[in-house]
């Protein structure tokens, strides 16, 4: 809290001026000659109105992965503080914890990949500065019971991060509506999935504005490039396209699920509210080999907790999905 952040040229003067000779930029009239807006004001203003929150509750990272890393660095001290998450879940919580040398407790899900409440609440303690809950969860796509998340928010002494990377594919509401009730709630979203902007690296943390200020202090000053801010804004001007693509993916998810369920090689499909299906096959290694031979790449999750013989399959275009189904029918 006492730390003085790097003060960039754009921190010390913002506004319009005739001549900017303060940042050692090249005066070339090239589009990207100037440093980007360090606080991404225009992008935040668009995202704030889209999500019905205030712009000062937003923190934009170079992908959610940067937000995850900065949250850890802002709150966790090596050897003292810990992180808690569920297993299986998104791998970056564990990687980021390791990079920062912070211990992480993985609470195993039950065999249906539902949260094991007894195990969760017996593990959770005051050392946990961050609790990551991914909902819909990657790799299975299930929504985590909101009543359970509320109990975690009530008892946790640290921040509870609900990772909503896939929320726009789900039937349920976002947790952003609960930010007023829980000052320890952080909602993590991204433009990588539903918005189709994975290449732009736009991760969005929505949280108490005081916490945004802390992350602003420790972030790399110009963490989102001008090109990426501009491209993200362009996408947000075409929300009809985004909505159409989300609808198509949801329809395809339902269609493919039915087709897969009819196949003898399929043992089980985990109910998904995301843009992927976690499928348990009778012999996932055989299926993976067959798909790969046809040039179809899917994600082997078989070594993850309770995921034996499981493959995670992203929902593609109708044509891509047809190729997948054709290939699987021949397995």
Ligand X SMILES: *Cc1c(COP(=O)(O)O)cnc(C)c1O
Residues lying near ligand X in the complex (CB under 6 A) are found at 63-65, 90, 134, 138, 163, 165, 190, 192-193, 198, 203
DSSP per residue, 97-129: HHHTT-EEEEEE--TTS---HHHHHHH--TTEE
- In the complex with ligand X, the residue whose CB is nearer, 63 or 158, is 63
Strand partners, 268: 280
Find tokens 């009819």 and name the residue: 262
The two tokens of residue 140 are 């299975």
Provide the CB-side half-sphere exposure for 164 (13 A, CA).
Answer: 25
CB count, 10 Å around CB of 331? Answer: 16
**Which pairs with CB-CB distance under 8 Å and at least 24 residues apart come from 5-11?**
5/216, 5/217, 5/218, 6/221, 8/35, 8/38, 8/221, 8/222, 9/35, 10/35, 10/37, 10/38, 10/221, 11/38, 11/221
- In the complex with ligand X, the residue whose CB is nearer, 180 or 220, is 220
- In the complex with ligand X, the residue whose CB is nearer, 266 or 276, is 276
- In the complex with ligand X, the residue whose CB is nearer, 46 or 193, is 193
- In the complex with ligand X, the residue whose CB is nearer, 89 or 321, is 89
The two tokens of residue 175 are 């947790």
CB of 25 to ligand X, least distance (A): 28
CB of 134 to ligand X, least distance (A): 5
Peptide bond into 324 cis (omega under 30): no
CB of 230 to ligand X, least distance (A): 18
- In the complex with ligand X, the residue whose CB is nearer, 185 or 266, is 185
- In the complex with ligand X, the residue whose CB is nearer, 53 or 266, is 53
Dihedral sign of CA atoms 285, 289, 292, 296 in order: negative
Q: What angle do CA 182, 37, 225 make, to 5 degrees?
A: 95
CB of 153 to ligand X, least distance (A): 19
CB of 192 to ligand X, least distance (A): 3
CB of 145 to ligand X, least distance (A): 17
Q: Using CB atoms, what's the residue nearest to ligand X?
A: 63
CB of 175 to ligand X, least distance (A): 14
């Amino acid at each position: 809290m006492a730390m003085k952040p790097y003060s960039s040229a754009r921190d010390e003067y913002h506004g319009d001026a005739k001549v900017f000779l303060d940042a050692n930029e090249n005066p070339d009239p090239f589009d990207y000659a100037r440093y980007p807006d360090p606080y991404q004001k225009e992008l935040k203003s668009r995202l704030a109105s889209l999500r019905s929150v205030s712009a000062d509750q937003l923190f934009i990272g170079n992908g959610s992965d940067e937000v995850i890393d900065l949250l850890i660095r802002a709150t966790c001290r090596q050897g003292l503080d810990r992180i808690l998450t569920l297993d299986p879940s998104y791998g970056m919580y564990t990687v980021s914890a390791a990079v920062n040398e912070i211990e992480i407790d993985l609470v195993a899900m039950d065999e249906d990949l539902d949260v094991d409440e007894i195990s969760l609440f017996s593990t959770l303690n005051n050392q946990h500065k961050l609790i990551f809950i991914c909902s819909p969860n990657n790799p299975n796509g299930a929504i985590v019971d909101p009543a359970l998340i509320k109990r975690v928010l009530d008892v946790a002494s640290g921040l509870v991060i609900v990772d909503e990377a896939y929320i726009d594919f789900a039937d349920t509401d976002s947790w952003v509506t609960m930010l007023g009730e829980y000052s320890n709630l952080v909602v993590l979203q991204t433009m990588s999935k539903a918005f189709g902007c994975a290449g732009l690296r736009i991760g969005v943390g929505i949280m108490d504005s005081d916490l945004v200020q802390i992350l602003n202090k420790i972030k790399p000053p110009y963490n989102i490039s001008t090109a990426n801010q501009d491209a993200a804004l362009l996408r947000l001007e075409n929300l009809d396209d985004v909505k159409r693509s989300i609808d198509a993916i949801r329809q395809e998810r339902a269609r493919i699920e039915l087709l897969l369920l009819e196949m003898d090689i399929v043992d089980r499909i985990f109910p998904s509210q995301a843009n992927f299906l976690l499928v348990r096959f009778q012999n996932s290694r055989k299926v993976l080999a067959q798909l790969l031979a046809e040039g179809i790449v899917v994600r082997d999750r078989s070594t993850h907790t309770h995921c034996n013989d499981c493959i995670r399959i992203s929902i593609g275009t109708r044509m891509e999905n047809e190729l997948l189904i054709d290939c699987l029918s021949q397995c």
